[in-house]
Amino acid sequence: MTPAAADTWSRVQAELRRAVDPGAYELWLAPLSLRELDGATLVVSAPDERRRWVADRFGRVLTTCAAAVIGPEAQVEIAAESDAPTSGSASVETGPGLDDRGRPELNPKLTFDQFVIGDANRLAHAAALTVAELPGTAYNPLFIYGPPGTGKTHLLHSIANYLTAHEPGLRIRLTTAERFTNEFLAALHQRDGEGFKQRWRSNDVLLIDDVQFLQSKAKTEEEFFHTFNALYDAGAQVVLTCDRLPRDMKALEDRLRERFEAGLITDIGAPDHRMRAAVLRKRAQQDGLEIPSDQGVLEVIARRVDGSVRELEGALIRVVAFASLTGGDLTPDLADEVLSTLYPGSSRAGTRPGPPTIERIQQVVCEAFSLTTDELLSSSRAVRVAVPRQLAMFLAREHTQASLPAIGAAFAGRNHTTVMHAVKKVRERLETDDEMRDKVRDLTNRLRAD
């Protein structure tokens, strides 16, 4: 190892210490060692039994930290200590592209089967699955937006994994807008414009993560515009993810924004309590973590952490790492202690299990109006059914983070405009109707008492 390589690795390690929790760093990243620095590619070794976990859980942060030291072209490869590094086989990139056989470098754990469905992501999941089953014929382009860590990247990998398994002849490219930009700039520098166009415009499916990164980059936007048009005109499927709606990307060219808005736009919101608990159970099962299901450890984490899926998984790692490093047992009290400094706003004792779900709202409304769920979801326009249905939609909009389409889907597949109408009608009545105000107050108190 050269002195320059050792210095680079030392600086990357310093970036990693700042980027992750101390416990996670000591448990998972400190054992890594530098094997080789080949240009902008950092090859590191990990213990055999930890390599897959490190690649899956810390791949992105490794690449980000390496880029902070080496530059935006940095890549990281993670090899097992017992094996020689194999080009492409363990590559960890911010957004994987194609390997030398034209297949996408995917995380095999990110599949539709492993995606936890809830009110906040039901429509996005259904749309992504439809695209995977009928690429190029349904919802093209598909635009999925939502805050970081809610499952957008998971859905992109799910589509790619599904297509790789069922349509092996398709050429699929899964990457990020940042990587598109970096490759485009490199092509300009190397005067390889035609080669760049061939690589990007010859795909059958293009999956792009974090398209907000394209903003304020005039040349890159123009190239992506032409790439998008070439693929769309050829019948290729395009799926995009973003942290905001197309109309909120003010620094994006109008013509590109119009292309993004031409297909189906669907959102993903933060998970509710029930979904958070399900995410933690599935994550623990995937990683073979032995967590007693009857002791409520995962329940404590779900109550403490009410943010993104990524935050949940980070909290789970923190609790498991703390127990491992200290030799303690995984108990609710330990989880509460470990997370109390990071998430002081909630505690295990006396904390309600998050906001109500749409299903719970429907149940409460049915009980209050002596209706069955079938009646509430039916097509009946009778006043005794229509008014409670509008109230339930209004409460779902007020007390959950579900989108209008997701609420409509939970009410027997109604259109989002129906939900908008219901919410508007209830709000208008609340301004003048004392009885309606009392009813909403009563229903709200019942939901809060759960």
What CATH number is attached to the domain comprising 188?
3.40.50.300
In 3D space, the residue among 300, 301, 298 whose CA is nearest the CA of residue 290 turns out to be 298
| Total tally of structural domains belonging to the chain | 4
Last residue of some domain: 242, 267, 292? Answer: 267
Output the pLDDT for position 295.
Answer: 62
From the annotation, which residues make up the binding site?
149, 151-153
Same structural domain, 10 and 60:
yes
Among candidate residues 340, 373, 396, the one where a domain is terminated: 340
Residues 406 and 299 in one domain: no
Q: Residue 101 pLDDT > 50, yes or no? A: no
Residue 213, in any domain of the structure: yes
Would you say residue 238 has pLDDT above 70?
A: yes
Q: Is residue 250 part of a domain?
A: yes
More confident residue, 163 or 352: 163
Q: Are residues 161 and 253 in the same domain?
A: yes
Residue 71 has a pLDDT of 84
Can you give the CATH number for the domain in which 60 is found? 3.30.300.180
Confidence of residue 89 (pLDDT cuts 50, 70, 90): very low
Last residue of a domain, one of 288, 307, 340: 340
Residues 73 and 153 in one domain: no
Do the domain assignments include residue 351?
no
- Binding residues for ATP are 149, 151-153
Same domain for 7 and 54? Answer: yes
- Measured CA to CA, the distance from residue 271 to residue 343 in angstroms comes to 17
Residue 162, pLDDT score: 92
Residue 345 forms part of a structural domain: no
Residue 254 and residue 295 in one domain: no
Same domain membership, residue 131 and residue 241: yes
Q: Does residue 98 sit within a domain?
A: no
Q: Is residue 366 located within the same domain as residue 332?
A: no
Same domain, 145 and 84: no
Question: What CATH number should be reported for the domain holding residue 405?
Answer: 1.10.1750.10
The answer to whether position 108 is within a domain reads no
CATH of the domain at 294: 1.10.8.60
Q: What is the pLDDT of residue 56?
A: 75
SS3 175: strand
pLDDT tens for each residue of 13-57: 888 888 877 767 777 788 888 888 888 888 898 887 677 778 877
Evaluate if residue 1 carries a pLDDT over 70: no
Report CA torsion sign: 272, 274, 277, 283. Answer: negative
Q: Directed axis angle between helix 297-304 and helix 332-340, to 10°? A: 20
Residue 135 sits in the same domain as residue 257: yes
List C-alpha distances in Å: 169 to 133, 234, 262, 278. Answer: 14, 16, 27, 35
| pLDDT given at position 411 | 93
Cβ(443)–Cβ(436) below 8 Å: no
Question: Domain for residue 335, yes or no?
Answer: yes
Do both 309 and 437 map to the same domain?
Answer: no
42 inside domain: yes
Domain of 52 in residue numbering reads as: 3-92
Q: From its phi and psi, is residue 167 left (phi > 0), alpha (psi between -120 and 50) or beta?
A: beta
Query: Residue 284: which of 325, 330, 329, 326 has the closest Cα?
Result: 330
Residue 328 or 193, more confident:
193
DSSP 104: B
Q: Are residues 126 and 218 in the same domain?
A: yes
In this structure, are residues 256 and 224 in contact, taking their beta carbons and an 8 Å threshold? yes
Report the pLDDT averaged over residues 328-333: 80
**pLDDT given at position 293:** 60
